Amino acid sequence: MECGRFITGPYGWLLSKCNVIKNTYAKYYGLDACMSNLMRPGMYGSYHHISIVGKENEEIKEKVNIVGTLCENNDWFAKDRELPIAKVGDIFIIHDTGAHSHSMGFQYNGKLRCGEVIIFNNSINNMKYIRRKETIDDYLSTIICVEWCYPKSI
C-alpha cells in the first residue's frame, strides 16, 4: 500500500483552462496545464476523473482527448474520455491529484510550477494560498552564473 497516495490523493484538484480545441481524426481539448503539473496519466496511464466547471450535469457527451501544452507525445491527461462538450475558456478539474501533482512536478521546457491553495470546510470562500506560483526569477535563482548569463537589464 502506498500511504501517501491513500491519505492525500483524493484531496487534490488540478484546475486548468481550455486554451484550444483541435478537430482532426479525433477531438482534442488543449489545456494550459501539462505533464509538468501532473505526469501520472502520460507516464503510466493513471486514471483521473475529469469534470468541466458548470457542465457536471450535461447529458450530451463526446469522446475526447485532454492534452497539455508541451510538445511531447505523452503530454496528455485523458484519452478517448466521454466528457460534456466544452469550449475555449472552460475550466477543467482533474480530480484526485493530491499525492502526485505538485510533488512530482518539474520544469521541463521552462514550465513554471503553479501555485497551490487549500480550501477549508469545503467552502470556496474559505481558501488560502499555501504556495505561490513560480516566477522566472525563481526558475533562474539556483544558477550560479545568473548575473552574467541573465543580467537584470534584460
Query: Catalytic residue positions?
Result: 71
Nearest CA to 11 out of 134, 130, 132, 135 is that of 130
Integer-rounded Cα Rg, in Å, for the chain is: 17
- What DSSP character marks residue 74? T
Cβ neighbours of 39 (radius 10 Å): 20
Distances (CA, A) of 54 to 50, 51, 62, 86: 13, 9, 16, 10
Distances (CA, A) of 1 to 20, 80, 87, 89: 38, 29, 39, 38
Question: How many residues does the structure list for the chain?
Answer: 154
